[in-house]
Structure 1
Amino acid sequence: KRIYDLKKKNQELEKFKFVLDYKIKELKRAIEPRENEIADMKTQIKEMDRELELFHKSNAQLDLLIGEQRQRINALQRAIASHRQLLSDQQTGVRRFRCDLHECVRHLQTPKDLALHVAQLYNKYVASDDGAGGVGSGAAAGSDVEAEIQLEYARQKQYLEKSVQVLKRKHAVDAQAQQQENLRATSDNMLLIREINDLRGGLTAAKNNLQMERATLATAALGPRKASGSAHGLAAALQQAGGDPDTLIARQRAEIEELRRVVKALEEKLVNGGSKPGEVLPPIGRAVDG
């Protein structure tokens, strides 16, 4: 019986072993992808470590470059500051020299004072820069400066004389041109005055012709009145019109138009068979009397 129990347990253990082997195989199959993922992640981590190391190296190099650039910038700033200071000093010296030079120019008409001030300028701006050598050759430098001053004075005098001559010639040419321009303007004014007088005469003649034409029209319009009346009738008509021939002409034109309408009406009645008994014709005398 014990052997039977042992065999039975052995069979059960074999069953458990089979089940456990199956589970182990499944677990191995489940663990294998994760192990692969872990291996891949380890590989990625190694690559990232290498990249990080490269980044650290590049950052260190960049830090070195930045330090060098900062040193260069600081050196350039110091150089710029020194150049600015030098430029400011030079500009100050130039301004001082200009002031002293203007002071010398004030004595341009007095050669002695001019020579004295130029010598002072030389001693101030040239001899001071030469040092001991300049002090040793002071007399020779003074004579050279005197000669240069005389030459400069002669050159300035010659230049001013030439300038005066050029200005005189230019003034003469300008005066002659101005005189010719004045003569031309005077002749143009005379021509314009003649043209204005001619135009005024033409305007007066045109006004006279217009008045004569108006009088002629008035006379022509008053022709029928002359045939039936006399010159006294014309004077009376002008007096009724207020002495204005235009008003008289307008009235005569109105009378002519009214007469034309009357004649046309009579012609139409004649065409239609004459006037009917008891019919009154248009008054002609009213149109004539106005």
Structure 2
Amino acid sequence: EALIISSCEDGILMLWETHVKSSTKSEDWTPVVLHNKARFIHLSQTIEALQNEEQELKRNQEYRLHQIETTYVADLQRRTDMSLNERQHHENIIERQLIEKEKEQRDFEAKYADLKEKFENERQRIEEEDRENIGRELQKEGDLIRLAQKIMEDNESRLKATMEASENEIRDIAEYFTGKIRETENELVALRKKSRLAIDSNEIEKKNLEADVDDEQLKIKLEFENERRRLIETNAKLQKEFKETHEYQVHILNLKQAEQETSAQTVKKRIQDNVLRVQGMSEEISSLKNEINERKQTINEKLDRISDLELKNQELEKFQYVLNYKIEELTRLIQPREQEIERMRNQLLEMASEREKKETELSRNRFHNVEQKRTLHAVNTQVEYEHQKRKEYDNALRRIKNDILAHFADVSDPKSVKNAVAHLYEKHVQNDNVKSIYTTADISGAVSEEIQAQDRQRLFLERTTSDLKRKLNSDLHATKANRMRIMNENALLLQELNNLRQELKVVRGRIQDYEVAKKTFDERSVHSIDALVQTLNADAGNYVVRHRDSELIKEVQKNQQEILHLRQHLSRVQAGYSPLSTNTNVNDDTANISILKLV
């Protein structure tokens, strides 16, 4: 009864000390006080629960942010390590390719220098030969000029000796010798032209002789085959004729013998004639036998020739086997390169899938960051709401304190105290809609330490969110740059794959060309080098066809060199990409075998 408890709508309890002089009470304060006390306890519990929930949310937010940061840093480190390893691998590949290109360039420069040196030597040799020829011609011309000068001197001496005799004769002699000099000069010019024409004709004749030799060989072979057929036919005819004549003679002899038996006396002379005729026939038979033996010898020689051709055919089959072996070797060299291309394609697909995974993970992280931002915004709004409520509580406290200071200036008067309490109760408890504005001299002094701690926590959260935003932007830029780098590397790898596909197409086209050429040679029954030359020179007869055949042979040799070059390049590339396969050595004896051994 010595204390009065009052409360406002904000749940603030106030204790008033009173002095009761009379024994009567005007009002009963117990139910109101108990009701306001329960309300105050409930409000304080809700405030503590909200503060605990706020701290729990802050701790969860900090833990999640720390977890995201650690995972992101680990993922970023792993990605950087992978990108550095890939970059080192690609740099090593590019370095090996550059070394191979430099080596090829050096080889090309060495070959070019050798060819240039050979060309210079050939040119110097030709120039020296031309100089020698010109020197010889000039020497001949000088000899002729000296001879002419000598003759002129002799003529002058004779002219001087015979000047007194006849000036006309001297003039005629001078004209005669000048004409001779002109004739010699003309002869010299003609000789030069003739020598040049002779050289040209010799070259043309040489080419024609080579062509004629080839044609003559072809003609001789054709004549040999025709003669062989003719001899075989004549042999058959002779055998048939011999058989017919022999049967005819036997029949005649039988008839004559029958006639001789009937008329022995009249046929004695004919018997001698028949004996002589039989002797002649026997001699003819012996000569025919000798001729048959000679034909058998020629047939045996032809059989020997056929056996030689079969041996050459076996050699060509061996050569065909070597060619097939080379083709299989080329295909075997192409297969690991195709496997390498397939592996690079799979690697590109893996990199693309990994990039998609990273993009999905980044999008998931962005979505998670957005959710974290939303939760942080909700927490910030809740904190601001709590700050506003706390400010309202502080303002209510200040208002109540000001009212207390204003109405309880004199506590000794119980009536004024009672009226002041009733006024305060009516103002702060019953009349909720009334709002009075009070001003204080120092508002910041009423701010408690808890509000300052909450402000510090809010500033800390704002700084952490700004740092997280800045890190997120930097990570986005880094991932964008990494993505661009991966795209550039993918473009380079695709370009290299396209180049390798073009090289494979070229090699396959050349293999198909050689297979087609082999099929054509098999269709034409080319089984020896001579027959190959005959088939290549089947249309020979003029210089244009021979020139075309020579160009074909040059093209074949050029293709051989190109195949060797491609084989070396494939072996180098294979050694660069798969070092384990460097132990497979190519046979050096078969590497230099040409496809067409045309001599």
TM range (shorter): 0.3 to 0.5
Larger fraction in helix: 1
Normalised to the residue count of structure 2, the TM-score between the two structures is 0.19
Normalised to the residue count of structure 1, the TM-score between the two structures is 0.37
Who wins on radius of gyration, i.e. which is larger?
1
Whose RCO is larger (CA < 8 A, sep 6+)? 2
